[in-house]
Amino acid sequence: MSMNRVPAGVTAGGVGIGGQFARSSGRRPVSGNLTTMPQNGSFLYPPASFASKGEYVEFWKNASVSDTILTKLVKAREKWRVPQVKAARDRLVSEWESQKRIRRMAKKDPGFYAVERAARENATGPEKRFPPLSGELARPIAVAHQIWSKTHLVPGMTQQDVRDVTVAVPGDPNVTVEEIVTDWRTDEWAGFALGSSAS
């Protein structure tokens, strides 16, 4: 005699059939359908592949990017940026202090030396080289990074094939993907928020 073991509480046609050793006459309850991802993919979970470069670029330019993703991107940039700015300022101080005349100045006029050192410790140059990511720029930078880093989704395509694709940024509708990822150095930090790395 065969027994189908069915979990307690399961019903078939409104009649309880569940229980550790309940008979089910060989019938099992209908299995539920799991929610599946949309066929067209999402910004963090794109389709497994694309048929062409055009289809690929079109997907990224039109994919919806949530505020949550953009917030994570801004935070990832800031986490990367702050040490970069500090290291650049530290280099300015170190290079300045390594000069013999500066060491002599420190002995002759400690007050002037302290003011000059503080100016280098707070220099704006490093801040300009590594600016924070504004909310207005977060979406185009996210899009450019995904276009650049996911080229493996199109058979035979490389980053060189998408380098001249343009992404509109505030004030300039024709910035190329390569310019964005190079200027913002997205390969170094965006993957932490977008779960991607350059291929």
Burial readout 131-162 (b: 16 or more C-beta within 10 A, e: otherwise): eebeeebbbbbbbbbbbbbbbebbeebebeeb
pLDDT digits (tens, 9 = 90+) for 149-194: 999 999 999 999 999 999 999 989 999 999 999 999 999 999 999 9
Query: pLDDT tens-digit profile of 103-136?
Result: 777 777 778 778 877 877 777 788 889 999 999 9
Asked whether the whole model's pTM tops 0.85, one would answer no
CA trace torsion 86, 89, 95, 96 (10° rounding): -140
pLDDT in tens, 9-63: 555 555 555 555 555 555 554 554 444 333 578 999 999 999 999 999 999 999 9
Quote the DSSP letter at residue 33: P
